[in-house]
Amino acid sequence: MKIKLRRVEYMPKDLQPGMLYVAEEFGAAAHLCPCGCGVKIRTPLGPTEWSLRETKRGPTLYPSVGNWQQACQSHYWIEDGEIIWAEKWTPTEIAAGRRREEAHRHAQYDPRRREKRSRLSDWLKWLLGR
């Protein structure tokens, strides 16, 4: 299945198959599950969530999409406008993935980490004479 990118101001009520809708102002993307079950999949965009890259061949959404809360439990990548199916995860793998995501979010938004990055940035600017 080929996926096309459609930039929107607001997410439409009805999504079309094969379309990745992106509302950049709200940091959100949505599409229909490519397995055909009809479930709307919403992916937040941001430094601790998914990232979007647009290529001539089509959109790339990173990392993979795992629909663990849906009956189909589809797992796939959207890469250069193509669906690349991935292996299904076990409940243990899903739980481990969620723990990694939570740790990543915590590290990203931890004020102590931001302070360290700021000090490092200041030191590098001083070192480089800027």
What is the reported pLDDT for 62? 94
Rounded mean pLDDT, 32-48? 94
Q: Give the single-character DSSP code of 15.
A: P
Domain boundaries, the chain: 1-88, 90-130
Is the separation of the CB atoms in 29 and 52 below 8 Å? yes
Tokens standing for 71? 């009956």
DSSP-H helix ranges across the chain: 91-109, 111-127
What is the reported pLDDT for 109? 67
Mean pLDDT score across all residues of the chain: 88
What is the reported pLDDT for 117? 58
- The pLDDT tens digits of the residues spanning 42-85 come to 999 998 889 999 999 999 999 999 998 899 999 999 999 999 99
Is the separation of the CB atoms in 46 and 40 below 8 Å? no
